Amino acid sequence: MDKQTRWPAWPLALLVLASPVQAAPRTEVVARGLEHPWAVAFIDDGRMLVTERPGRLRLVNANGQLGKPLAGLPRIDAGGQGGLLDLVTDSGFARNRTLYFCYAEPATSGYGNSTALASARLSDDASRLEQVKVLFSQQPKFSSRAHFGCRIVEAGGTLFLTLGDRFQRMADAQTLDNHHGKVVRVRKDGGIPPDNPFVGRAGARPEIWSLGHRNVQGAALGPDGRLWTHEHGPQGGDELNRPEAGKNYGWPVITYGENYGGGPVGAGLTRKAGMEQPLWQWTPSIAPSGMAFVRGTRYGKAWQGSLLLGSLKFRHLLRLELDGTRVLREEKLLTGLGQRVRDVREGPDGFVYLLTDEDDGQLLRLLPG
């Protein structure tokens, strides 16, 4: 371990536990020709919807054929890291055809953008979005092409949305009068859940669930029914967290990373009273994106309950073995893939699907070894 690598204080034995040996998984291409795809969601009859960051929503048929871009999307400010980003289907999609998506929303006047969350109905012929409604718009708007966050998780009658700090506004992550560097929680109609932790506090945005985040690009409900996330650190210090109501995850006051080019962030602290430690961290950075828990049996018993996440930087897939909230082991998979892994989802068929963030991006199915 080099001198820049710092780990949470887990017992060393936890880092060397091994799983039963099994053959390495492989991939097969489901669809290709996607321009910087960002998220995949499953609908009916083996079909999927895929977002492309430049601002398109595409239907992928069961045979992998790409449909024309769907009509009905709102205005999207595509550029840099912004564009059309995450997408999930409602738990009642088979009945209501409702989906939720987030995107870089341009200001209606002047300059600036921010992350917005919207709901829509997928038309019966799956050619367009209907009844589009903006449920949440990050405030304030700011002219930036970076750190939109933008992962969505449904939890009961509510939606969690992860929000980046917009890069140049990192200090905002520690204050409650804005949505930068936060996880927020709203009802499916855009209303405020009355049990959100800052409801009624003067000067606080009532949508806020947790604060002190940098750029959260992975989120999922765990087997424990709780929200799990991972986020990009600066140069080092990517984090795995389980955000809890009202808690502060430290950015930019504490971090295991450093400034780009070297040098401490702020006072160079890794711990401070009142701020949460990550469950796991990566130094050097892996640039994580996408996240899914393995619930099915396609990959054998050893994989059940594992957490899978993609690495944009190292172009592979990671599997974390967990014991509750403790990481027992990290395994690198698909190390020869050679493509940036942007999204990771478990499909209704029990297979894991990946999206690669490339000019000619692919939708991949992960096959057991």
Given this model, what pLDDT does residue 17 score?
Answer: 42
For residue 314, CA distances in Å to 100, 150, 222, 344 come to 30, 22, 25, 15
Per-residue pLDDT at 1 exceeds 80: no
Range 335-341 average pLDDT? 98
Per-residue pLDDT at 87 exceeds 80: yes
Q: 3-7, 69-73, 233-237, 306-310 — which is least confidently predicted?
A: 3-7
230 part of the active site? no
Per-residue pLDDT at 220 exceeds 60: yes
Question: How do residues 193-203 score in pLDDT, each as one tens digit?
Answer: 999 999 999 99
pTM of this prediction?
A: 0.93
Segment 323-332 long-range contacts (CB within 8 Å, at least 24 positions apart): 323/14, 324/224, 325/242, 325/279, 326/10, 326/14, 326/279, 327/10, 327/14, 327/240, 327/279, 327/280, 328/14, 328/15, 328/17, 329/15, 329/16, 329/17, 329/18, 329/19, 331/19
CA angle 79, 85, 91 (to 5 degrees): 165
Question: How do residues 144-186 score in pLDDT, each as one tens digit?
Answer: 999 999 999 999 999 999 999 999 999 999 999 999 999 999 9
Could you tell me which of 106, 61, 111, 53 has the C-alpha nearest to residue 82?
Answer: 53
Distance, CA of 4 to CA of 22 (rounded, Å): 33
8 A C-beta contact, residue 363 and residue 40: yes
Per-residue pLDDT at 4 exceeds 80: no
Where on the phi/psi map is residue 350: left (φ > 0), alpha (ψ -120 to 50), or beta?
Answer: left
Catalytic residue among 36, 147, 179, 316: 147
Hey, what are 171's tokens?
A: 């200090």
Range 353-358 average pLDDT? 98
Distance, CA of 246 to CA of 210 (rounded, Å): 5
Range 102-116 average pLDDT? 95
At residue 22 the predicted structure's pLDDT band, cuts being 50, 70 and 90, is: low
Percent of the chain with pLDDT over 70: 94
8 A C-beta contact, residue 88 and residue 343: no
**The 227-231 sheet, strands edge to edge:** 216-221, 227-231, 238-241, 280-282
Per-residue pLDDT at 245 exceeds 90: yes
Could you tell me which of 366, 365, 355, 364 has the C-alpha nearest to residue 35?
Answer: 355
At residue 21 the predicted structure's pLDDT band, cuts being 50, 70 and 90, is: low
Per-residue pLDDT at 27 exceeds 70: yes
Question: How do residues 57-84 score in pLDDT, each as one tens digit?
Answer: 999 999 999 999 999 999 999 999 999 9
Phi, psi of 191 (to 5 degrees): -75, 170
Range 280-299 average pLDDT? 98
